[in-house]
A = this chain, B = another copy of it.
Amino acid sequence: MNTLTSDILDRLRGADGFLSGGELCSEMGITRSAVWKHISLLRKKGYSIEAVSGRGYRLSGSPGLPVPEEIQPFLSTARFGRTVEYHETLESTNQRAKTLAREGAAEGCVVIADSQTGGRGRMGREWMSPPAANLYFSVILRPPVPPLRLSQIPLLAAAAIHRTVEATVDNVSAMVKWPNDILIDGRKVCGILCEMETEPDMTHFVIAGIGINVNLREIPADLEGIATSLSIESGNEWSRSEILAALLNCFEPMYDEWLEAEDLGDILPYLDRYAWLKGKEVSVERYKGSVSGKVTGLGRSGELLLMDNDGTEHAITSGEATIRKEA
């Protein structure tokens, strides 16, 4: 968006009621017809702007797209979201973010798409990415920590998303499924796919890819009982840009604290409190065979702690957990 157009949008947002066209002209040093041109551009982008003769202009509706102009005014961050790249459609926001990161993009840069044609979850699985409903975005991180700590980032992101959902969305009660899903009533509302480029002792960058089912109304038949959305669970529609801004505001300070810590730090008791797997009998698939047992909690570095039938405790750093039976 052109700087003048974006300036007018900011003034409309900040106005208490109508904003006089004459004042806009004199404050910005442009003509009435120029003001009108920018108002038209904003309307084309989906903003509802009332124009009343003698009173001026008033912003009465936003397009609801998670575009930079809708997100950045609500940020309290220093780095996260200060650069935002929005696309109507992308193959995958992680792919695009990786390209930007390789070209040197700064920490906190966010790539958003309204829809994805090749959205992916963990283990190469597909991530349902229809347009005009959900959030699909990737945050570029450059944590100065050894790669061994990077497996904690999905848990960190999960805690930040959980906090944001709890604070923003009424009438829902979300849980975190180790290592990187957010569930409401046992159904997935959010997934996280972290990808990283490293040397054994140096982290180049991490891409934290996040998909949140926000306003999706219809769950495809093959995901019935498996996936859900904030809208289905709460009965309301939610602003994608507000949720994203709230999440970035929550994520950045948590990330900064984590950088200073030796392990998961203060996030650990939080994750423990909302651990969906806790007390459940699970099987965890790993590269080499699976382990089964009852989940007793999380280790200090985010490992899933399992007690098997022989009473042996296992600390599992990575894998795919499935429920065997409710405890």
Contact = CB atoms under 8 A, between A and B. Distances in A.
Interface of A: 122-123, 144-148, 150-151, 153-154, 179-180, 193-202, 204, 286-287, 317-320
Contacts of A196: 197-200
A43 to B, nearest CB: 42
Contacts of A201: 122, 151, 179, 317-320
A152 to B, nearest CB: 8
A199 B146 contact: no
Given A148-B148, A194-B199, 11 more contacts: A122-B201, A147-B150, A147-B318, A148-B318, A153-B200, A180-B200, A194-B200, A195-B197, A198-B198, A200-B318, A201-B320
Given A148-B317, A287-B144, A195 B198 contact: yes
Q: Give the number of copies in the complex.
A: 2
Nearest to A151: B200
A125 to B, nearest CB: 11
A228 B325 CA distance: 62
Nearest to A320: B201
Nearest to A201: B318
Nearest to A145: B287
Contacts of A153: 200
Nearest to A155: B200
7 closest A-B pairs by CB: A201-B318, A151-B200, A197-B197, A146-B318, A195-B199, A196-B198, A200-B318
Contact of A122 (B154, B179, B199): B199
A127 to B, nearest CB: 13
A148 B318 CA distance: 9
A319 to B, nearest CB: 6
Nearest to A198: B196
15 contacts: A146-B286, A146-B318, A147-B150, A147-B318, A150-B200, A151-B200, A154-B200, A180-B200, A195-B197, A195-B204, A196-B198, A197-B197, A200-B318, A201-B317, A201-B319
Contacts of A151: 147-148, 200-201
A317 B201 CA distance: 8
A230 to B, nearest CB: 25
B287 A146 contact: yes
A36 B117 CA distance: 55
Contacts of A154: 200
Given A145-B287, A287-B146, A123 B195 contact: no
A196 B318 CA distance: 17
A182 to B, nearest CB: 17
A179 B154 CA distance: 28
Nearest to A149: B287
